[in-house]
Structure formats: structure tokens, C-alpha cells
Amino acid sequence: MPKAVFLDRDGTIIKDVHYLKDPKDIELIDGVGHALHQIKNYGYLLFLHTNQSGISRGYYDWDDVHLCNKKILELYKLPSDLWDGVCIAPESPKDKVLGYRKPSNKFQLEMISKFNLIESECWMVGDKWIDVETGLNSKMNAALVRTGKKISNNLEILAKNNRIPVCDDLSSFTKEYIV
């Protein structure tokens, strides 16, 4: 049965640039390209799940997000078909029109069904607690990475109490839990 890693984008596979609109503003995180390559090589499906409320707020449009996602793969020298699925949630925290905004697990449940994934063999990795909630809501494993906004002491304690690993970055997560 297939296994998968679901990844947040901003703060997890690239540095968190507030309302990223222009591909030239993308900042890479060391080791991510290699980690993504390793995850695929170890037989995991890869999914991207990103909240992009800038769309509903009018700061940028769908094309801007797609261009940034494409540029990320180019900058990491990864194939354009790396992702087995991508979910861009355009809702702001106030509107739940489509229901894909994390911590919603709608995308995860759709991919679990589509690819016959075993939840216990899947991971949701991100830099915020909503990423962890998304994974837990889907009965997946979840992990935090420290490459986004600073993880507070309270969040560290919450993660520890819930047995959620906190890794320095995607590379260290991959070494510890994938390879």
C-alpha cells in the first residue's frame, strides 16, 4: 500500500515570505531539494498542501501561486511532476468557502481515498500547529520543523505532550523518519 508525505509550503520547503507573490522573492532552505528527492526515492508519494489566503484577500491570484510553485521546483532542480497532488487553499481564516484551509483535512482524506493510502504510513509536516492538526485530523503522523516562524516554548511543550516530533528542518525529518 502506498505511503505519503504531505508538506506545507511556506516555512517548510521555502522560507516564509509574507504573502509571496513574485517568484523572485522565493528563498530556499538548505537541504530541502535533497530531502524531497530522498522522500520520493524511498517510495513515498509527495503532496503539497498550502494555505494561500492572499488569493481571497486580493493580494495575488492563482497564476501567481502556480508560478511560485513551479519556480520552487526549478530552483531546487526537481522535476515538474514531483508532486503527486497539490492543494492550494485560497480561503482566509474568516471564510471557509471551499473547506480546504488547514487545519481542514479534506485534501488529505481525498488523497487517502484516491491513492489507497494507509494513514499510519503517512506524514503531515509543517512549521505551524495547524499543520500538525491537519495530520492528526487525518489519523496520520505529524511533525513540526523549525524553519518557519519561531516555535514558542508553549508549542514545544504541546508537541512533546502529544508525541509530535520537532525537527530542525525537512532534511533532519527525512533522515530521522524516512530513510
Please state which CATH number belongs to domain 3-177: 3.40.50.1000
pLDDT at 98: 67
Q: What amino acid is encoded at 31 in this protein?
A: G
Query: Under a CB-based contact definition with an 8 Å cutoff, are residues 143 and 133 in contact?
Result: no
pLDDT at 5: 99
Please return the burial class of 140, using the count of CB atoms within 10 Å of its CB with bins 0-12, 13-18 and 19+: buried
pLDDT at 93: 83
pLDDT at 67: 98
Asked whether the bond before 103 is cis by omega within 30 degrees of 0, the reply is: yes
Question: Among residues 10, 64, 131, 169, which one is catalytic?
Answer: 10
Which backbone phi and psi does 71 adopt, to 5 degrees?
-65, -35
How many angstroms separate the CA atoms of 176 and 76, rounded? 21
C-alpha cell at 19: 504573502
**What ranges do the domains of the chain cover?**
3-177
How many angstroms separate the CA atoms of 30 and 151, rounded? 19
> For strand 122-126 and strand 85-89, is the pairing parallel, antiparallel, or unpaired?
unpaired
| End-to-end Cα separation, the chain, in angstroms | 18
pLDDT at 94: 82
Place of cell 507573490: 21
Q: Is the dihedral of CA 3, 161, 10, 137 positive or negative?
A: positive
Q: Looking at the chain, how many residues does it have? A: 179
Instruction: Give which of 139, 159, 133, 178 is closest to 42, Cα–Cα.
Output: 178
C-alpha cell at 150: 519561531
Query: Under a CB-based contact definition with an 8 Å cutoff, are residues 124 and 164 in contact?
Result: no
> pLDDT per residue over 20-72, tens digit each?
999 999 999 999 999 999 999 999 999 999 999 999 999 999 999 999 999 99
Instruction: Read off the pTM.
Output: 0.95
Task: Determine whether 64 is an active site residue.
Answer: no
pLDDT at 97: 64
pLDDT at 95: 79
Task: Determine whether 8 is an active site residue.
Answer: yes
Question: Among residues 8, 64, 84, 131, which one is catalytic?
Answer: 8
Please give the distance of CA 1 from its chain centroid, rounded to a whole number: 22
Collect the ranges in the chain with pLDDT lower than 50: none
